[in-house]
A = this chain, B = another copy of it.
Amino acid sequence: MPEPLQATDRTRFHRRANRGTHDRATVDAILDEALICHVGFVADGAPVVIPTAFVRVGDAVYLHGSTANHMLAATIAREVSLAATLIDGLVLARTAFHHSMNYRSVVLFARGRAVEDPEAKAKILAALVDKMAPGRSTACRLPDATELRATLVVELPIVEAGAKIRKGPPLPDEGDDARLPYWAGVIPVSLARGEPIPA
């Protein structure tokens, strides 16, 4: 069983009464669907946010990159915040005030740890290509020892984390607003895959 997720003082930034959850399965599903995340760390006392690919394996998410990567270096043994967000819809109400978006997001907090074991790194990098295209790890050459040494993998455990979800139609406009002659509803949006382009 994974550790139960923790709600802490800083998870409040990603909370809203009726939209927040610390359900692990919900968190995992969002992490597994999101192709990229945004990683936040502190450099010289100020915040830095950088987008990057990632993958969840078991009870942690993993970042990777070159051993010269500045962002990764700034996450090892340091506090990190990671957010992964899926946009599901544009919510148009009769009033500008009630416009919103449908989305599913996860925010987690952890300290980064470099994964040293080559077998563990290989497994994580295989999971990463499988996330991009199912079964891809059996349809490409996996990293050799030199490539593994050139790749830094950073682990962030999924413990202090939560999800936030908004779905469904706009909040109903009330009174006179409900009778305004404007269209209201949701424009669904999703990340669509196009026709593959061979190299």
| A interface with B by C-beta (< 8 Å) | 9-10, 12-14, 35-36, 38-51, 53, 70-71, 74, 79-83, 85, 87, 90, 92-97, 99, 101, 103, 105, 107, 109, 125-126, 128-129, 132-133, 136-137, 139-143, 147, 151, 169-170, 172, 177, 180, 182-199
**CB neighbours of A188 from chain B (8 A):** 193-197
Q: Within the complex, which residue of B79, B92, B96, B180 is in contact with A47, where a contact is CB–CB below 8 Å? A: B79
Judging by beta carbons under 8 Å apart, are B180 and A199 in contact? no
Judging by beta carbons under 8 Å apart, are A132 and B36 in contact? no
Judging by beta carbons under 8 Å apart, are A47 and B40 in contact? yes
Given A97-B143, A99-B132, A141-B177, is A47 in contact with B36 using a C-beta cutoff of 8 Å?
A: no
Task: Name the distance in Å between A64's Cβ and chain B's nearest Cβ.
Answer: 11
Given A13-B50, A40-B81, is A193 in contact with B187 using a C-beta cutoff of 8 Å?
A: yes
